């Protein structure tokens, strides 16, 4: 109140907007998105955008998907929450479906990526505790990783930017360079319990692991009796054209963390594990009040209906391959702005030339009607909903091209 009246006093006839009461943890674009349909969004001024960020890889089936909306409405009229003290039939069903076609035997549900990763790390430690080696509790992680923002997961990822100001990082993590098996094998010691890696690093700049690297991680885990944890929070749930990114390598983890696309926008996370990987997780060892509640499970099942529909993932693969070649052409023609295209499936990144800061490129694309998201290493991430069409991709390429031309002209001026 006082701020508004002060603004009035200093600027007659004008009032400044009241300062936001939302805690200042994000640099926000001054745009409010109001409505979405499929791969498109509209802001409160009515401006239309093509969505190539998908709420950071969350809106897997696009916006307002009729099947998912209906499932949410139907469940909303029956039961929202029951707690995990009772059997939740929709949760049983979701777990069965997620494990039926994957490496996993069991699933644990939570509400976000960070919770899934925390539970995955705990399961990796608890396996050894339960199996007679309580001294094994450390997890090997890799540089450039992102596993969430809890005290545990910022220590796991070891990114100085996210650790700053929070005191001594939680112990129990040993970081090695990404993709380097010699360094990883050297880091294995008598206290090592697990290895945790994103098959495609997202936040770290869209770095896809070589498939050989994923196979070598499996081999090292087997040789030393370690739990292999894949963080597929961003790269899983169909984003690479297979349900799980590790399927491309033909090897499986013991434990996997999922979130983002799994709920299509409803806050939902999951840990999938083999019986072995989950063997330390007994009643009372870990828990969550909301996790896997009927409302979330109804949405999860509906999203899964879409992803498992005949030919859907093949369609993702086909659209992604076509887009990949168009991005190569874009880089070839506009290398002064975009120096490299990287990624897998519909988890793609354009690395910008040093004179073009990714945030400025993202703002220019936004003005042109294309929403994207940044990542480390001066990368612009492209994370469209998985329902994106060839025509949508052509439109994105058109905006990327026009933006590159105008940024290039500005840089030369």
Q: In angstroms, what is the minimal distance from the CB of 288 to ligand PLP?
A: 13
- Which of 68, 226, 251, 259 forms a contact with ligand PLP (CB under 6 A)? 259
User: To 5 degrees, how large is the angle CA 296–CA 297–CA 301?
Assistant: 120
- Rounded to a whole number of angstroms, the distance between the first and last alpha carbons of the chain is 46
Q: In angstroms, what is the minimal distance from the CB of 267 to ligand PLP?
A: 8
**Of residues 295-334, which lie at the interface with ligand PLP (CB under 6 A)?**
none
**Of residues 97-126, which lie at the interface with ligand PLP (CB under 6 A)?**
112-114, 117
- Distances in Å between the alpha carbon of 266 and those of 107, 186, 263, 297, 368? 18, 41, 5, 10, 28
**Looking at residue 112, what DSSP letter applies?**
S
The answer to whether 233 and 257 have CB atoms below 8 angstroms apart is: yes
Query: Considering beta carbons, is residue 38 or 269 the nearer one to ligand PLP?
Result: 269
- Which of 51, 90, 231, 254 forms a contact with ligand PLP (CB under 6 A)? 231
Closest CA to 376 of 160, 173, 222, 165: 160
Query: Considering beta carbons, is residue 112 or 175 the nearer one to ligand PLP?
Result: 112
Q: In angstroms, what is the minimal distance from the CB of 183 to ligand PLP?
A: 21
Query: Which residues touch 45 (CB under 8 Å, ≥6 apart)?
Result: none
Closest CA to 239 of 264, 213, 214: 264
**Of residues 132-151, which lie at the interface with ligand PLP (CB under 6 A)?**
146-148
Q: What burial letters (b/e) apply to 268-295, b meaning 16+ CB within 10 Å?
A: bbbbbbbeebbbbbeeeebebebbbbbb
Query: Residue 202, interface with ligand PLP (CB under 6 A)?
Result: yes
Query: Residue 53, interface with ligand PLP (CB under 6 A)?
Result: no
Count, residues near ligand PLP per rule CB under 6 A: 15
Query: Residue 173, interface with ligand PLP (CB under 6 A)?
Result: no
Site stretch for ligand PLP (CB under 6 A), options 15-23, 98-106, 231-239, 361-369: 231-239
Q: Which two tokens stand for residue 399?
A: 């905006």
Query: Considering beta carbons, is residue 112 or 301 the nearer one to ligand PLP?
Result: 112
Site stretch for ligand PLP (CB under 6 A), options 6-14, 160-168, 180-188, 195-203: 195-203
Query: Considering beta carbons, is residue 266 or 364 the nearer one to ligand PLP?
Result: 266
Q: In angstroms, what is the minimal distance from the CB of 38 to ligand PLP?
A: 23
Q: Which two tokens stand for residue 79?
A: 């039961």
- Distances in Å between the alpha carbon of 382 and those of 21, 52, 234, 362, 370? 31, 5, 12, 10, 10
Query: Considering beta carbons, is residue 251 or 259 the nearer one to ligand PLP?
Result: 259
Q: In angstroms, what is the minimal distance from the CB of 115 to ligand PLP?
A: 7
Q: In angstroms, what is the minimal distance from the CB of 200 to ligand PLP?
A: 9
Strand partners, 175: 141
Q: In angstroms, what is the minimal distance from the CB of 19 to ligand PLP?
A: 26
The answer to whether 72 and 237 have CB atoms below 8 angstroms apart is: no
Site stretch for ligand PLP (CB under 6 A), options 162-170, 230-238, 241-249, 352-360: 230-238
Q: Which two tokens stand for residue 362?
A: 């993202």
The answer to whether 217 and 184 have CB atoms below 8 angstroms apart is: yes
Q: In angstroms, what is the minimal distance from the CB of 206 to ligand PLP?
A: 11
Q: Which two tokens stand for residue 410?
A: 């500005």
Query: Considering beta carbons, is residue 291 or 331 the nearer one to ligand PLP?
Result: 291
Rg of the chain taking only CA atoms, in angstroms: 22
Tell me the residue nearest to ligand PLP as measured from the CB. Answer: 113
Q: At what angle do helices 89-100 and 294-308 cross, to 10 degrees?
A: 30
Query: Considering beta carbons, is residue 40 or 179 the nearer one to ligand PLP?
Result: 179
Query: Considering beta carbons, is residue 38 or 202 the nearer one to ligand PLP?
Result: 202
Query: Considering beta carbons, is residue 98 or 407 the nearer one to ligand PLP?
Result: 98
Query: Considering beta carbons, is residue 117 or 303 the nearer one to ligand PLP?
Result: 117
Determine whether 54 is exposed, middle or buried from the number of CB atoms within 10 Å of its CB (0-12, 13-18, 19+).
buried
What length is written for the chain? Answer: 413
Using CB under 6 A as the criterion, which residues of the chain lie in contact with ligand PLP when the complex forms? 112-114, 117, 146-148, 198, 202-203, 231, 233-234, 259-260
């Amino acid at each position: 109140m006082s701020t508004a009246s002060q603004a009035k006093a200093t600027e007659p006839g004008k009032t400044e907007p009241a300062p936001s009461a939302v805690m200042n943890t994000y640099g926000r674009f001054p745009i409010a998105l109001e409505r979405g349909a499929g791969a498109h969004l509209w802001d409160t001024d009515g401006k239309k955008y093509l969505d190539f960020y998908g709420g950071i890889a969350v809106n897997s089936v696009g916006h307002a998907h009729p099947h998912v909306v209906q499932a949410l409405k139907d469940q909303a009229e029956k039961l929202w929450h029951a707690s995990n003290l009772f059997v939740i039939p929709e949760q049983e069903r979701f777990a069965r479906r997620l494990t039926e076609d994957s490496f996993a035997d069991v699933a644990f549900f939570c509400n976000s990526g960070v919770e899934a990763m925390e539970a995955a790390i705990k399961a990796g430690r608890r396996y050894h505790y339960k199996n007679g080696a309580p001294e094994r509790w450390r997890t090997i992680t890799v540089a450039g990783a992102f596993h969430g923002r809890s005290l545990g997961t910022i220590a796991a990822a070891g990114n100085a930017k996210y650790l700053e100001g929070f005191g001594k990082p939680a112990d129990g993590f040993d970081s090695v360079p990404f993709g380097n098996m010699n360094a990883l094998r050297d880091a294995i010691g008598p206290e090592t319990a697990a290895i945790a890696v994103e098959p495609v690093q997202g936040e770290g700049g869209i770095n896809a692991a070589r498939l050989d690297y994923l196979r070598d991680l499996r081999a090292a885990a087997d040789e030393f009796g370690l739990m292999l944890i894949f963080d597929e929070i961003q790269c899983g749930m169909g984003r690479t054209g297979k349900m799980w990114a590790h399927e491309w390598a033909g090897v499986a983890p013991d434990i996997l963390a999922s979130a983002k696309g799994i709920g299509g926008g409803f806050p939902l996370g999951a840990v999938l594990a083999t019986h072995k990987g989950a063997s330390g997780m007994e009643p009372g060892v870990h828990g969550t009040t909301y996790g896997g509640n009927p409302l979330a499970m109804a949405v999860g099942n509906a999203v899964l209906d879409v992803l498992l529909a005949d030919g859907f993932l093949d369609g993702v693969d086909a659209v992604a391959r076509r887009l990949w070649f168009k991005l190569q052409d874009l880089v070839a023609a506009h290398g002064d702005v975009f120096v490299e295209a990287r990624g897998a499936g519909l988890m793609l990144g354009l690395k910008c030339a040093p004179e073009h800061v990714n945030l400025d490129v993202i703002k220019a694309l936004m003005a042109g009607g294309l929403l994207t998201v940044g990542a480390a290493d001066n990368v612009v991430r492209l994370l469209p909903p998985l329902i994106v069409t060839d025509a949508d991709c052509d439109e994105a390429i058109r905006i990327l091209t026009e933006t590159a031309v105008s940024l290039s002209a500005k840089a030369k001026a």
